[in-house]
A and B are shown apart, each in its own frame.
Chain A
Amino acid sequence: QKEVEQNSGPLSVPEGAIASLNCTYSDQGSQSFFWYRQYSGKSPELIMFIYSNGDKEDGRFTAQLNKASQYVSLLIRDSQPSDSATYLCAVTSGGYQKVTFGTGTKLQVIP
């Protein structure tokens, strides 16, 4: 079992719709959860992080965390073509901030 699992996609949504990206993780001791966006040929860029159960909103982005289910998601409202990228879920465990990444979900926003 992979430590961080994501559906590789592609996930296609029409412009203006809500994109829902999901991630599960295997280590119950995971403490911090991150979403990175990576455009093709570019480096990952942090867009959201969450530590506590519940929702965290930042602009059009909402991260949701459910530690009991070991599940974290990212919602993108009013999706734009510029949101088309690969979204990487990442988690940290332990005190030294080692981050484990999922393989990423490719999102395509169709104009």
Chain B
Amino acid sequence: EAGVTQFPSHSVIEKGQTVTLRCDPISGHDNLYWYRRVMGKEIKFLLHFVKESKQDESGMPNNRFLAERTGGTYSTLKVQPAELEDSGVYFCASSQEHYGYTFGSGTRLTVV
């Protein structure tokens, strides 16, 4: 079984640019989550999809962040325009039931 795939693995962009992160969940997993870890802080929830619907987006920092999940399959997280404080590791995870997530390897975003 393929795991959760994220790309790119690393991205370095300038302040004000746009970046799009992609996540491919485990096939058949209805639940898809985005999390972010800023240096030295805990992993913070961003949002949760159930299939193609946003179930909870209470963790999205501001309207510079836009997440989509096309057809309930892969998801994208766009940051536009990026700011310095957006730097961190963005994790995607998927799950089917209550047995915990499977995480992707993360995208390390650096905004300079």
Hey, which bits of chain A sit against chain B, CB under 8 A? 2, 4, 32, 34, 36, 42-46, 49, 51, 88, 90, 92, 96-104
User: Helix, strand, loop or mixed for chain B's interface?
Assistant: strand
B50 to A, closest residue via Cβ: A96
Residues of chain A with a CB closer than 8 A to B99's CB: 46, 49
Which of B44, B48, B102, B104 lies in contact with A97, CB distance below 8 A?
Answer: B48
Hey, which bits of chain B sit against chain A, CB under 8 A? 31, 33, 35, 41-45, 48, 50, 55-56, 91, 95, 98-106
B103 to A, closest residue via Cβ: A43
How far apart are A40's CB and chain B's nearest CB, in angstroms? 12
Are A99 and B91 within 8 A (Cβ)?
A: no
B44 to A, closest residue via Cβ: A101
Count chain B CB atoms within 10 A of each CB in A4, A51, A101 and give the residue with the most.
A101
Residues of chain B with a CB closer than 8 A to A103's CB: 41-42
User: Helix, strand, loop or mixed for chain A's interface?
Assistant: strand
Which of B42, B45, B91, B100 lies in contact with A98, CB distance below 8 A?
Answer: B45
Are B95 and A97 within 8 A (Cβ)?
A: yes
B99 to A, closest residue via Cβ: A49
Give Cα A100–Cα B44 distance, bound, in whole angstroms.
Answer: 7
Residues of chain B with a CB closer than 8 A to A42's CB: 105
How far apart are B85's CB and chain A's nearest CB, in angstroms? 18
